[in-house]
Amino acid sequence: MFGLEKRWEHELPIRFSPDGRYLVAHALLNSVGVDLASRSTIPLSNGIKNLMEQNVFTFLGNDRFIGLKDGYSGNARIVKFPSGETVADDLHIGNATPSSVVRGNYIVLRPLKKNPVGLMDVTRKEIVVASRNTGLDVWDNSCIAELVDGTIANFDLSTNKTVEQAQLPQAPLARLTAGGASPDLNWLAMSQRTRGGVWNLQTGQLVYRVMGFGGTYFDPGGLYADFYKVPDSHRTVGELSLPTPHFEAKQTLEDKVWAWQSGKYLVENVPEHEKDWNGNITTEIHDVRDGKLLWSKQFSDIGIGRSVTAESHALVLFWPAASKVFSSLVKDDPDAAAKLKAYHDKEGIVFVQAIDLENGKVQSTTVLDTGKNSFRIESIKLAGSRLIIADSQHRVSVYSLEGKRLATVPGHSFHFSSDRMLVDEDSQSERLSLYDMSTFEKRAQYVFGSPVIVAEFSADSKRLLITTADQTVYLIDPNVSSTASSVNQ
């Protein structure tokens, strides 16, 4: 293509002018310009070529071009294209990548040191807008940007005052980072990476519109959630009061800690030596409401399988019985050694240990046979006196704590209550089946027109709440209904 080698398609920065007429590309020893209308190369002035040497360049319009002018100083220059005549000089953009606005004497920079995107006024040579969300554009002195809560705002750059705001139309929700309902199913919390919300399901009202969070726990006073770190704000565990809106920060989480929230519990993994995740790791279990340390234990292998079952207050650990780490553990655990005696060949044997999240005491130990690794455990939960496992063969199985398989049904994931198990049967998460946990008989099947993103049983197991990606909430009586009825949206 115009003398460009085919391999350059994967190695060279290539830029097009907004009207699609010009193409420029740069290699280590050469730069090229192409007039796509005439399908011919065009000579590039030294003023253009010099700005392309650091591979940070782009068109700001059909006749304006920007690039770094002197090595890695972070100083950029704007020139006319293709003559190379200087338009603006000494624009300090640092390590950001510049891009154009629709119209106006501004440059969009991504990212800034503390924000994903910023807007530079070319005339003033300074950043005039810094945004926590990447969506931003300009038309003359009007800037449109996405706010943290998802609102689209139009504000005047000359006065920095908001002219108008608007909510985008309802759209299907992508995968959630957290989602859950209160025990009485009166409140629903959902979040994606950048923002979340809390709804009153009795009125359908959105009570909170907040930054993204990674866990939920409802207690009588409100919702506790692990809010993600954003520019100028630490990762914070906070309480959202209900029903009267009020936020209170409870604790901040340090970057050196690998932590996640599961219901009432905050699990923190702390390396013995900072940033050394291959050595000894101490697992700490905290109460998410006040940060109180419930217990801690050191493990020599972070690769141990872990699953927190907040519903049963259990931390479930599992090891391949043939692993070196488990061999050393058996020496100090007579119960584990005794249960493994029945297995002469340790290949495919998995040892499962359930630890009480409240006090750190071992609740149960179980040995499972995977048939010489014919399947892999994808997720495992403790449900009373049973273990529920989703495996790599797209099955959900129930085991006794003695390791006996009690039932197996098709499915990708599951939810459970004291007497019921809800299984997601297909990869699209649109068909769920309800099973009796005593007899393992299928009691109902629910088919939805949109993927299920939240499924919660009430505390008494008499109601089931389903939320789908099209932002519809269904309330189901699992005793009598085999079809879902829509409630507040």
Quote the tokens at residue 30: 């050469």
Q: Give the C-alpha separation, 468 to 150, whole Å.
A: 20
Per-residue pLDDT at 377 = 94
Return the amino acid letter for 43: P
Contact criterion met (CB below 8 Å) for 168 and 182:
no
DSSP state of 45: P
CA angle, corner 42, sides to 48 and 62, nearest 5? 60
Q: From edge to edge, which strands make up the β-sheet containing 22-26?
A: 14-16, 22-26, 31-35, 40-42
Q: pLDDT value at position 486?
A: 42
Burial class for 171, CB neighbours closer than 10 Å (0-12, 13-18, 19+): exposed
Q: Which residues pair with 25 in a beta bridge?
A: 14, 32
Distance of CA 369 to the CA centre of its chain: 33
Instruction: DSSP for 196-253, please give it.
Output: EEEEETTTTEEEEEEE-BS--EEETTEEEEEEPPBTTB--EEEEEESSS--EEEEEE-
Residue 332: CB atoms within 10 Å: 8
Spell out, as residue ranges, where the chain has pLDDT lower than 70: 1-11, 71-72, 148-149, 170, 231, 277, 300-303, 324-332, 480-489
Distance from the Cα of residue 406 to its chain's centroid: 34
> What domains are there in the chain, each with its CATH number?
8-100 (no CATH), 176-300 (2.130.10.10), 303-379 (no CATH), 411-489 (2.40.10.480)
Cα-based distances in Å from 289 to 159, 227, 263, 265, 378 = 42, 13, 10, 8, 29
pTM over 0.85: no
Question: What pLDDT, on the 0 to 100 scale, is given for residue 325?
Answer: 66
List of residues 6+ apart from 6 with CB closer than 8 A: none
334's enclosing H/E stretch is: helix 334-340
pLDDT, residue 347, reads 87
Q: Alpha-carbon torsion 128, 99, 195, 248, what sign?
A: negative
Q: Which two tokens stand for residue 195?
A: 């923002």
Other CB atoms within 10 Å distance of the CB of residue 298 = 10
Distance CA 27, CA 4 (A): 10
Question: What is the percent of the chain with per-residue pLDDT over 90, rounded to a whole number?
Answer: 64
Q: Give the pLDDT confidence score for residue 5 in this predicted structure.
A: 41
pLDDT of residue 342: 76
The pLDDT, as a whole number, for residue 337 is 75
